[in-house]
Structure 1
């Protein structure tokens, strides 16, 4: 059975979204301001922890990373953390599309 997860956070006027579609193949995409900046695909239910990197389009560009980890909880099996500008921010889960 395929499962979907979506995490979203607005930071410094920018939108950061992580979408995960897991099943036989797990696809993870990182969107910054609605544009795909990183993508990971693996056979199986995913390899965690997983880190994807991108940058915010500011001058100078600001690097960011998102880290996905298994929580072990049945209700929310994945957690997502945004690392930007020296801070780690938990990204809340949204209803997957």
Structure 2
């Protein structure tokens, strides 16, 4: 059965979203300001932790990274953390899909 997870945070004037579709093939996408900046695809349920990186379209470009990891709980099996401007920010799961 295919599972879907979505995480979102607004940080530093930018919208950051991570969408995960897991099942036979697991696809993870990183969206910044609504544009896909990184994509990961693997057969199976994926291997975690998984880190995806991007650069903000600013002058000068600023890097950011998101890290997904398993939590070990059935209620919220994945967690997501944004690393931006030298600090980490937990990304809440968007349950209203």
TM-score by length of 1: 0.97
User: 8 Å contact 1:19–1:96 — kept in the other structure?
Assistant: no
Residue in 1 that maps onto 2:40: 40
Residue in 1 that maps onto 2:67: 67
Distance 1:62 1:95 in 2: 29
Residues 16-63 of structure 1: CA deviation (Å, up to 9, x unaligned): 000000000000000000000000000000110000000122221110
Distance 1:87 1:6 in 2: 21
Q: CA RMSD in A?
A: 0.9
User: 8 Å contact 1:20–1:26 — kept in the other structure?
Assistant: yes
Deviating above 3 A after TM superposition, structure 1's stretches of 4 or more consecutive aligned residues are none
How many equivalent residue pairs?
97
Residues 50 and 83 from structure 1, CA distance in 2 versus in 1: closer, same or farther, beyond 3 angstroms? same
Q: Where does the alignment leave 5 or more consecutive residues of structure 1 unmatched?
A: none
